[in-house]
Structure 1
């Protein structure tokens, strides 16, 4: 019997557990591509890492709207070591030529690209998410309007197939299910050149899984937090089957 809770919803297989543990139980070569939004532990030079995630990433009037999330207290050295571990274990599961795309903010792009290469992936570039002018302004400064997906491949990848956008312009959702929730349309754009099953080791509220369900692509999601696990299951089931 598995030590993890496993739930199947249509073509999605969802695990509630720690990604580093769950990844060691999956079959090598069973994954097509990886698309995920890990906890970046961003703002290490300006924020107390022990703060609640709601205090780090939300203005005071929005605190309490979403559950806190785990894994956001690492400094850059420990973030590099941890990212190298999970990226290496994920690469063992991905077929040759398969892709990884992992989100980061501007602070963590250098260390994320380092980790990707330390884990044996071939670093291929960075996709920009333009959050539009709806992102929060900073008086006297440039607007922090972008986040990034660092991407690479498991060895060579042939130059065939469709071309995906290198910049995706989508606003932050007005209705979110997670403190750091991203739009489904953003994930859908990134999946233009991906094949299933798509692995998401940090499922959160299940946005990648929702995009996979809408496209009819098999999905493997992992989430350690039980509250977010249930939110992800509900969203994916509603996309697969419609609201109850």
Structure 2
């Protein structure tokens, strides 16, 4: 089984993919978040998101500076293309944070998908503790499907809360997700299925899919992260 990385803009590449050719969409798009006002949101991701240690450990990426209206429009554009290439009944999983949670559920439905719920990624207690405040230790997976999902799908019951810490040795992207987390999420795809990730980043969805026995296609436009993805897939 050979997973594939396509380098370029998702809005350019998605229209070239065959219709009804994927069994699941699992992706972590730019959140366009991380700032309390427009000027803060316009900063590069490395200035908005905590990396630890002070030094910049991972490359910046594009697409994280949009305001609410333009971000919703952009989400609608690529999600509509994903709807075309997904098979009927395919599950859709979209990462988001607390700021963009309402927008993400809106975008999912505007693109024609059925919204089915929210799964929580618990990043554990080590994340940015601040006295007198709640820990910012959760991100969210908005999930749905392209139309109805059969009740007899060949996939396991998945947890509503997934507890996985971010380990430095397993973080290859500024906003990278743990491989263990992604291995659990790809299991929503039926046996023998094909996963699409239009914002592949450092390739963790593709790595997880391969480790779990699924085929996957990823799209990534940032040169540094495309190179990281290729290296990780080659090492498997």
Task: Provide Cα deviations, 1:77-110, integer angstroms capped at 9, x if missing partner.
Answer: 1111100111110011000000110100110010
Whole-angstrom CA distance in 2 between matches of 1:156 and 1:65: 42
Alignment of 1:185-204 (within 5 A): 185-195=180-190, 196-204=193-201
Tell me if 1:147 matches 2:139. Answer: yes
User: What RMSD in Å do the two structures reach over aligned CA positions?
Assistant: 1.3
Tell me if 1:226 matches 2:223. Answer: yes
Q: Identify the residue that residue 177 of structure 2 maps to in structure 1.
A: 182
Task: Provide Cα deviations, 1:171-195, integer angstroms capped at 9, x if missing partner.
Answer: 0122211111110111111122213
Q: Identify the residue that residue 173 of structure 1 maps to in structure 2.
A: 167
Displacement after TM superposition at 1:136 (Å): 1.1
Q: Identify the residue that residue 89 of structure 2 maps to in structure 1.
A: 97
Is the Cα–Cα contact under 8 Å of residues 87 and 116 in structure 1 kept in the other structure? yes
Query: Relative to 1, partners in 2 of residues 1:98 and 1:60: Cα closer, same or farther, differing over 3 Å?
Result: closer
Aligned residues: 230
Q: Which runs of 5+ in 1 are unaligned?
A: 1-9, 240-244
Tell me if 1:79 matches 2:76. Answer: no
Displacement after TM superposition at 1:69 (Å): 1.1
Structure 1 residue ranges (4+ consecutive) displaced by more than 6 angstroms after TM superposition: none
Tell me if 1:163 matches 2:143. Answer: no
Is the Cα–Cα contact under 8 Å of residues 27 and 197 in structure 2 kept in the other structure? yes
Is the Cα–Cα contact under 8 Å of residues 11 and 217 in structure 1 kept in the other structure? no
Is the Cα–Cα contact under 8 Å of residues 131 and 145 in structure 1 kept in the other structure? yes
Displacement after TM superposition at 1:216 (Å): 1.9
Tell me if 1:53 matches 2:45. Answer: yes
Displacement after TM superposition at 1:72 (Å): 0.4
Is the Cα–Cα contact under 8 Å of residues 51 and 57 in structure 2 kept in the other structure? no
Deviates more, 1:85-94 or 1:153-162: 153-162
Q: Which runs of 5+ in 2 are unaligned?
A: none
Q: Secondary structure at the match of 2:187?
A: helix
